[in-house]
Structure 1
Amino acid sequence: MGSNHQNGGMSRAVEVVNAEGAGELVLLCDHASNHFPPPYDQCLGVSDEEKSAHISWDPGALGVAMALSEALDAPLIYTTVSRLVIDCNREETREDLTPCLSELTEISGNRNLSDEERTFRINLVHRPFHDAIDKVLALRADKGLPSAVVSIHTYTPVYKGKARPWEIGLISENDRRLADPVLTGLNARGDLTVGDNEPYAPSDGVYYTVRRHGEDKLLPCLMIEIRNDEVRTPNEELHWADILGPLLKSAAKTVLRKEVADHA
């Protein structure tokens, strides 16, 4: 594919909500949108049905993230371009940064991309997204506000023919400071099957954003995956925000208060 790009129809590729929020969390949503700006609405070989399917975005994730942002006074940074154009939750050097195959679907327009096209997409969405996160975290550090980083995703109930029993999964790597108390709180409800590094784990290559902005900066961090049949309506999105909000707030407060005390 060449680089015959149009600017029409392309708004900001990244949005920041409540940048000045003073709550403990900084919320991220890598796969918030299934928008395909020109020329990608035509040239990727993706049907209208596929554009609305999970391969193009994480349906319900942004609604949950927005509700959490409001409830917890948390900054939220999210992308406004489909992950089939470029996946902001992948290293710039990874093959699936611009995926040619998503689950069982071929993305023909992503095959044999030129270096120029790949760089164009990185500069269009990927770098602005991560730069925006860095900017928010730096602003908070300058103000003396401690930060815990939480990324909100959703996943499909059936993947390559295999059903996934968990309504929600918590993904973490070395830092379990948020994962453990949130896992305990969710399990204590008694009405959920909760995945611990299910249906994905960092070893699956899905942890780039949280690792970069959380683990690597020694900030408390967590990736949350909600099964997308749980968040099909605005009310269901609010329901999950109501479940997660108090658990995340309590865990972050405890961790960050302890850090302040340890450094006193």
Structure 2
Amino acid sequence: MGTGQASFAMSNAVRVTNRDGRSPYVILCDHASNRLPAAYGTLGLDAAEMLRHIAWDPGALPVARRMAEGLDATLVESCVSRLAIDCNRPLAAHDLIPEISETTAIPGNAGLSAAEREERIALSWRPFHEAIGEVVSDRLREGRETRLVSVHSFTPVYKGVQRPWRIGIIHDEDERLAAPLIAALQALDGPVVGVNEPYSPADRVYFTLEHHGRSRGLPCAMIEIRNDEIAAQAGQRKWADLLAGILSDLEPEAGEAVPYRPGSGMAAQSKA
């Protein structure tokens, strides 16, 4: 796709809202947008493909925004499609810039040079993670309690397999935040709650929380909502208000952070 991305300012790649929010929570949305800089076109895809889950997490951003507003939390969102580069992957990941997403070939991602790969990193991945790092570092320097929650959505059917869960909570060995969140959801009538379903850290979908939360010993959890639940505003409001209410009353389980082992849980092939 070549260079010429200088006009796409780094400030267009990430948005931080309510940076001084009083909540202990920082809400993250890795796959908030299906937008691509004009120079990339649609990466060789039909325009309709950009509305699919392969390009973003539909419904995740409206839920994340309403949660952040309800909690008075800081929100950090990526503003570039995951098809350009997936901000929830380590730089060494084979699908950092996917040539195939699910079963769809991405022509504009095939055969990138080292310079083009670095251009993608500078376009979106680096600004997103630098923004999160600055928010978290500032909070810790100020002595503010900090808990990280990332908000995603998933498809009702993946490669022909139906997914029964309405919401999933993803976590690794440190369950201080995830365990009480799961318990609160399971106590409700209605939601079918997946525990490390439909993904788990073994699918390499936990990178952002590992990098910014687990590495600092912070409580963190990943929320996945089935995207047919949040396709319309009513569902977005319902889930955002439910989750914000639970989180506002929730206290992480007592105890020290489980030691973080870099790279743990990244062995399996990704389903995300």
1: CA distance, partners of 2:240 / 2:5: 38
Q: Report the AA paired with residue 156 of structure 1.
A: T
Q: Report the AA paired with residue 46 of structure 1.
A: L
Is 1:49 matched up with 2:48? yes
- How many percent of aligned residue pairs carry the same amino acid? 48
What is the match of residue 13 of structure 1? 13
Are residues 146 and 101 of structure 1, via their aligned partners in 2, closer, same or farther at CA, if it must alter by over 3 Å? Answer: same
Given that 2:177 and 2:252 are in contact with CA atoms closer than 8 Å, whether structure 1 keeps it comes out as no
Q: Report the AA paired with residue 91 of structure 2.
A: E
What is the match of residue 161 of structure 1? 160
Residue 138 of structure 1 and its aligned partner are, at CA, apart by 1.3
What is the match of residue 262 of structure 1? none
Residue 22 of structure 1 and its aligned partner are, at CA, apart by 1.2
2: CA distance, partners of 1:176 / 1:10: 34
1: CA distance, partners of 2:146 / 2:248: 11
TM-score normalised by length of structure 2: 0.90
| Structure 1: tracts of 5 or more residues without a match | 260-264
What is the match of residue 29 of structure 1? 29
Residue 6 of structure 1 and its aligned partner are, at CA, apart by 6.5
In the TM superposition, what whole-angstrom CA distance separates every residue of 1:140-191 from its partner, at most 9, and x where no partner exists? 1122211000000000100001010000000000111111111111111121
What is the match of residue 74 of structure 1? 73
Given that 1:10 and 1:38 are in contact with CA atoms closer than 8 Å, whether structure 2 keeps it comes out as no
- CA RMSD in angstroms comes to 1.7
Are residues 118 and 193 of structure 1, via their aligned partners in 2, closer, same or farther at CA, if it must alter by over 3 Å? Answer: same
- 1:243-258 aligned at under 5 Å gives the runs 243-251=242-250, 253-255=251-253
Say which SS state the counterpart of residue 45 (structure 2) adopts: coil
Q: More helix by proportion, 1 or 2?
A: 1
Say which SS state the counterpart of residue 97 (structure 1) adopts: coil
Are residues 7 and 24 of structure 1, via their aligned partners in 2, closer, same or farther at CA, if it must alter by over 3 Å? Answer: same
How many residues of Structure 1 are paired with residues of Structure 2 in the alignment? 256
Is 1:173 matched up with 2:165? no
Are residues 8 and 121 of structure 1, via their aligned partners in 2, closer, same or farther at CA, if it must alter by over 3 Å? Answer: closer
The runs of at least 4 consecutive aligned structure 1 residues that moved more than 2 Å come to 1-11, 253-256
Given that 1:9 and 1:37 are in contact with CA atoms closer than 8 Å, whether structure 2 keeps it comes out as no
